[in-house]
Structure 1
């Protein structure tokens, strides 16, 4: 039986800045309490340059409110490990069908002409309901932001990557889902759950579509994460469902997403990864 090649000692040592020289777009990074902000901080701590997308009007309408983009950027820069890396930001209303391609182009230009990592973290919150409450407008609005915009972002990203040298390393796409296929689903958020489920279902097809570009595609279900949207008895009741006795924090899924962005994860693609702390559904 032939001897399989083994990694050298040098290859086994983990680079403290495994994303040095790589570039990333993180969508939905509008506030410091969110997952997008935590992901961006992890990526820059690994050495990447990052473009933060925000849509402040959406968060301003929510109970948690909006942060100033400058404050979010300052927090991300505080975690920056490579002094030569860039942290940029810009707005986009991804309900607009033309916005995803424009955002990819803007991020690539700001980061030096190349985009390696796409983290599609944004989502439409609220304005949803049960099966009896939803209507066509709710379904269409969630579809436009939660699903259509993500697919169009991936399309524009793939076209950009196709212009690079064949099989340029470092290509990564990460999408977000919400565990709507687990246990009881999301009967109170039919529109949101439906659209997020579509992304989970599309993961393997997108991974196959981008395989020739040496781009991996994975989707993360972070489970219940404390992003400042719930307090009181309901908050405590959900915390009690976790073996650790606490909610997931934004940095919990951020660590997984940052790892998926590194070369260590180059053999992982087409997967929906549930990272939810063993929560009992």
Structure 2
């Protein structure tokens, strides 16, 4: 991977605010799934780490707030945030208009694109068109995620019940199914996919072109007063190079656990 490409997933820097809000040590609950390396995952010792953890910890430091991290499955996360069970959600969540009906988003903190992750010895297809043309080939996806919708509408036939899409509760479960030969394709954002391929010692590779851009944002209950302070911190961290440093750390310098 080239550093320049990875840094390109970050949105253009904007001028920093002169002074960030001080939240006075406010306690904030942040929920995540811990299954999406290198954004958030459990390391070999079982410690929750990743790009989003480092980013959120730095946001908390700059805003003077105390973070209590909680865990949730992906399918329960947006409803839990919408109902006010947690203050912030972070899980590589794509900013989409339909989701804005139930939660508020931060300003985007990262931009990425969908790529096709396959086994290293895959020769039956080389792009989305040739995958779609072979009815024997299967893809893994989590229901309701961007990879699911890209797989349905940009790779296959637009049928959300297409039996060629095998559903898994977590991204990691789908990736294990790919490695085991139970499915033939996993769609993921380019940042995570590049990292997985590089860390796999040839067991995984990327085929085809990129299938579309997506912006990631943190989510909040509708009307949350935390959105503006977090947005201010994000803008400052883009401007001063903090996000660029985190991207190099997690997408270039860190070997992911397998």
Bucket of the pairwise TM-score, normalised by the shorter protein: 0.3 to 0.5
The structure showing larger relative contact order (alpha-carbon pairs under 8 Å, at least 6 residues apart) is 2
Of Structure 1 and Structure 2, the greater strand share is in 2
TM-score with structure 1 length normalisation? Answer: 0.32
